[in-house]
């Protein structure tokens, strides 16, 4: 049996929506992008959302919106995909890495120790779709207001460190009975990459939940303009009769999402919240039920009184396994036709960040989590037979390598 790791969910509704976009004669940013933005707002409960070409671009846009650049520091977890740090680097700021907890997410006590007068933003990451400790992070931000030094109009308006959530994995996750993005952080960035719970092939969404005195609609308008080279009219508006006149008012970026990709998300998003997420949850709990009685298995968190995972990844850890043993287990699983993965190599293990002076020894929990982690397939197309094959294959591989 051959089981891929994370194929996209493409049904007839998706094909029909994309075909409609192609047949419309309009494939770049236009009505389907706006429809997708509205669907995110409707389902998550946020006032405004801007769709862009990737979550990485969305993070960069959020940082630029808050005028973060050279000389500024942004606190991020050491355990995340490289894009979190690269977004900070691309705006000229310095990523300040913090160790994580055993649940993979950033340590609030670590954040507190890392805050300086140069700190302009905290970017928590909901690894695997498990929400961070948002209330504690927001309380910490408020308690450190006296350290904050504002250097721009927007920074003076907010007058504190901004929280920008890298929720690439977390659309549909819940924090205190509300979806991540609604009152969890100032700005939340979701990913619609091909392997995510909802996809547009490539893409992301920047959801705004800014407090007063900000007007979220006004800031959405600014961000939309900034995502289109700072141009006052998008191509769709310019194409209307007599609508060609435009201006460039900001040194913007070209990071807009095209309609032909948004169409995939327009078809998927309602289905995701109506039944696909529930299917992912059923697979997650199937794994939980199987592995919870295995003495060598450390199962990931799924739900507690405050949080519920989006079930983006099933991050199984093999108790007391070394990195070499974990790799041998993966090799054996792969030989039997099951594609698995590892999420993620902590940033200090990557050459770019090693060469910048980050040391893995400073982030012991990040390494502990990484060295024994194996991500199992979790997507709605999986059948009961395939799930049985996956768990038995994993069990056989682990016990042949450790016993």
Q: Which of 35, 64, 174, 196 is catalytic?
A: 196
Two tokens at 259?
């309609």
Q: Give the C-alpha distances (Å, rounded to integers) separating 155 from 62, 68, 187, 273.
A: 13, 9, 14, 35
Helix axes 364-371, 323-335, angle to 10 degrees: 30
Is the CB of residue 199 less than 8 Å from the CB of residue 264? yes
Question: How many beta carbons lie within 10 A of that of residue 88, not counting itself?
Answer: 25
Backbone φ and ψ for 15, nearest 5 degrees, come out as -60, -40
Give the position of tokens 């993979």: 104
196 catalytic per annotation: yes
- Of all residues in the chain, what percent are helix, strand and coil, respectively (each to 5)? 45, 15, 40
Beta strand 162-166 with 94-98 is unpaired
Closest CA to 314 of 345, 281, 336: 281
Query: Catalytic site residues?
Result: 196
């Amino acid at each position: 049996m051959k089981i891929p790791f994370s194929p996209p969910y493409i049904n007839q509704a998706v094909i029909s929506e994309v075909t409609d976009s192609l047949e419309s004669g309009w494939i770049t940013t236009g009505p389907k992008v706006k429809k997708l933005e509205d669907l995110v707002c409707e389902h998550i409960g946020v006032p405004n959302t801007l769709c862009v070409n990737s979550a990485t671009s969305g993070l960069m846009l959020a940082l630029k919106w808050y005028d973060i650049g050279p000389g500024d520091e942004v606190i991020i977890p050491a355990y995340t995909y490289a894009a979190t740090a690269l977004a900070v680097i691309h705006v000229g700021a310095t990523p300040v890495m913090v160790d994580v907890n055993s649940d993979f997410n950033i340590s609030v006590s670590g954040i507190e120790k890392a805050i300086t007068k140069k700190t302009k933003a905290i970017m928590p990451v909901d690894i695997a779709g498990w929400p961070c400790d948002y209330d504690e992070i927001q309380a910490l931000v408020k308690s450190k207001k006296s350290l904050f030094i504002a250097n721009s109009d927007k920074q003076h308006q907010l007058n504190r460190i901004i929280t920008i959530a890298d929720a690439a994995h977390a659309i549909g996750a819940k924090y205190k009975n509300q979806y991540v993005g609604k009152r969890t952080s100032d700005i939340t960035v979701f990913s619609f990459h091909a392997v995510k719970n909802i996809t547009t092939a490539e893409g992301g969404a920047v959801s705004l939940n800014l407090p007063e005195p900000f007007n979220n609609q006004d800031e959405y308008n600014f961000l939309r303009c900034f995502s289109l080279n700072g141009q006052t009219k998008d191509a769709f508006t310019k194409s209307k009769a007599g609508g060609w006149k435009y201006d460039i008012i900001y040194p913007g970026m070209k990071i807009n999402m095209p309609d032909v990709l948004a169409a995939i998300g327009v078809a998927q998003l309602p289905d995701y919240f109506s039944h696909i997420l529930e299917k992912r949850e059923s697979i997650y709990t199937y794994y939980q039920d199987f592995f919870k009685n295995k003495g060598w298995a450390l199962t990931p968190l799924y739900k507690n009184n405050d949080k519920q995972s989006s079930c983006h990844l099933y991050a199984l850890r093999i108790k007391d396994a070394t990195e070499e043993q974990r790799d041998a287990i993966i090799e054996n699983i792969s030989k039997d036709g099951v594609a698995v993965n590892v999420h993620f190599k902590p940033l200090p293990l990557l050459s770019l960040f090693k060469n910048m002076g980050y040391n893995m020894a400073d982030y012991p929990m990040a390494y502990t989590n990484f060295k024994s982690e194996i991500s199992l397939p979790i997507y709605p197309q999986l059948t009961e037979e395939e799930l049985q094959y996956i768990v038995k294959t994993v069990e056989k591989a682990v016990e042949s390598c450790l016993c």
